[in-house]
Amino acid sequence: MVLDYSKWDSLELSDDSDIEVHPNVDKKSFIRAKQSQIHQQREQRRHEIKTLKYERIINDGLLTRIDKLLDSLKQHEGSSSPEESIFKTIMEFASNPADDQAPPPPEGVYTHEKEQPKYSAMMSSLVDQVKKEFEESKPGDLSKAYTQGVEGHKTKVQSLQKELLAKLAQLEKEEGSKITSDGLHEGFSTSHVAKATEQAKAATTSKQTEVELLNPGASAQQSTSKAAEDDDDPANVEVSPLAKKFANLKRNDYSAYLQFISEHPHIIAEKETDGLLVEAFNSQLKGKEEYARQCVHQGLLLQYCRSLGHDGIRLFFNRITTKDHRASTLFNDDVRDTYNRIKTRAAELSKENSASNDPAGVEQIQLHAVDPNTKITINIPTANSEDPTEIEARKVFDTFPADLQKALASESLDEVNKVLGNMSVEEAEVVVEQLGNGGMLSLEEGIIDGTTAEGQKKLAEIEAEGKQDVGQPGGDVTELD
């Protein structure tokens, strides 16, 4: 029987005695050096395999978007302005940030890249390359020139995909040709554990006090929903000092805008856009229309830059600063529509606030006599009186605001009520109490005609009331709603 030892050919290195080295070379050192070399080559090969697989994934996504761009160009074949359809297609790619973002590389692959470029930025770069290729020749049919240029780049990407596939197959073949510990796996395994029979446990009864809740899940749900509302509450959104500085830059100075964004790349964050739009709304409420419009412009400018990615910012500025370019028209229309919505909403809110500030609907304190035959009179304590009671009343009078002192000096109840109406309910109640305690308010009876039956009846009522202890005279304070 012939023995087959071919399976051992897959071993990369053996430390058996069949390894022959030069007499001047230490055998153990040679084996360790050889092992280290094999491990380095293996790691490099695996890293290259991961890199090639990732590049193929990126190229597949790029080919899909190239096909969509070609379909758009063919639909607008013969158009005098193909750049408009190209820009619209690229903006569609960028409209969905999740789909526009390239998949993250595997661990250890492309570590030198701080941020992966987005597909929309890749397509913008491809279109710029195509434009440079035929810019000198100045073709008559721009649509056809763009189509041919994009198809040429598509062919290059497809050829690159074939090269990557061939190289990947070769590396995977080399990786699988040798036996390594990573390739070892357990063929089959079985085990059985006899479970112990469960013994019946004596049930012990114990008295427990339970509190029955009407809505047991309310607390957790309310706290969770409250936290979510706090995070999403627009009132918590505030404009940052950096965003304010960006909004105060000179209007239409796009070179300054681009320089500012380059120096502060984190300003394109979503919270900065939200802060500028809130600032625009608040400024519109205050009547600062030009500043509000500028805040909307700057906020949407940051939003477009964020959707296009870091590599697409400069391209976007080039497009919107080009005279009569479609990108500039689309952006300005978006700014105008957004500002008009803010302006309309601010006007509605101002109207609602004006209605709510109507004095007829505000709770206030007013003075009036309950009995129509009596009236409230105002007594101002003299400044140079020697009466201790009047001196104390004068001290209270001097603590009143100037408008209230003026109203009291006029001895007009309507003027006093006007001043009280402008105060809060709590403040007005304190003032009325001080007026009553200081004797600055008193009631005077009207003239009663005793010759008539009605007058005699009134006199009888007054005499009857005089026999009772009615306390100090004073006006009634009514709280009007």
CA distance 415 to 396: 19
pLDDT at 469 over 70: no
Residue 225 has pLDDT above 60, yes or no: no
Residues 6+ apart with CB under 8 A from 73: 82, 85, 86, 143, 146, 147, 150
Tell me what percent of the residues of the chain surpass a pLDDT of 90.
17
Average pLDDT value for residue range 313-331: 82
Q: Model confidence at 156, in pLDDT bands (50, 70, 90)?
A: very high
Please give the Cα distance from 331 to 257 (Å, whole number): 15
Intra-chain end-to-end CA distance of the chain, in Å: 114
Structure tokens at 465: 């009331």
CA distance 210 to 217: 16
Instruction: Give pLDDT tens digits for 129-142.
Output: 888 888 777 777 88
pLDDT given at position 65: 92
Long-range contacts of 299-302 (CB under 8 A, 24+ apart): 299/272, 299/273, 299/274, 299/275, 300/273, 300/331, 300/334, 300/335, 300/338, 301/257, 301/331, 302/246, 302/261, 302/267, 302/268, 302/272, 302/273, 302/276
Mean pLDDT score, 248-271:
89
Q: Give the other-Cβ count within 10 Å of 469's Cβ.
A: 4
Reduce the DSSP state of residue 122 to 3 states and report it.
helix
Is it the case that residue 160 has pLDDT exceeding 90?
A: yes
| 108-122, 178-192, 227-241, 448-462 — most confident range | 108-122
What mean pLDDT, rounded, does the chain reach?
Answer: 78
Q: Quick one: pLDDT band at residue 165, thresholds 50, 70, 90?
A: very high
Ranges of beta strands (E only) in 39-99 are: none
* Higher-pLDDT residue of 428, 161: 161
User: CB-based contacts of 83: which residues, under 8 Å, 6+ apart?
Assistant: 142, 325, 326
pLDDT category of residue 474 using cuts at 50, 70 and 90: very low
Write out pLDDT tens, residues 64-74: 999 999 998 88
Q: What is the arithmetic mean of pLDDT over 229-249?
A: 74
Confidence of residue 185 (pLDDT cuts 50, 70, 90): low
What is the pLDDT at residue 1?
64
State residue 56's pLDDT score.
93
Question: Does residue 352 register a pLDDT over 90?
Answer: no
| Its pTM surpasses 0.85 | no
d(CA 294, CA 297): 5
**Residue 294 pLDDT > 70:** yes
**Res 249 pLDDT > 60:** yes
Give 190-224 pLDDT, tens digit per residue.
665 555 555 544 444 444 545 444 444 444 444 44
What's the pLDDT tens digit per position in 29-52?
888 888 888 889 888 998 999 999
Cα separation values, 401 from 206, 319, 396, 406, 420, Å: 71, 63, 11, 9, 11
User: What is the per-residue pLDDT across 400-416, written as a single tens digit (0 to 9) for each?
Assistant: 888 888 888 888 888 88
pLDDT band at 116 (very low <50, low <70, confident <90, very high): confident
236 — pLDDT class (breaks 50, 70, 90): low
- Residue-level pLDDT at 152: 92
Q: Where are the beta strands (DSSP E) in 313-371?
A: 364-368
Segment 301-327 shows an average pLDDT of 82
Cβ atoms < 10 Å from Cβ of 213: 9
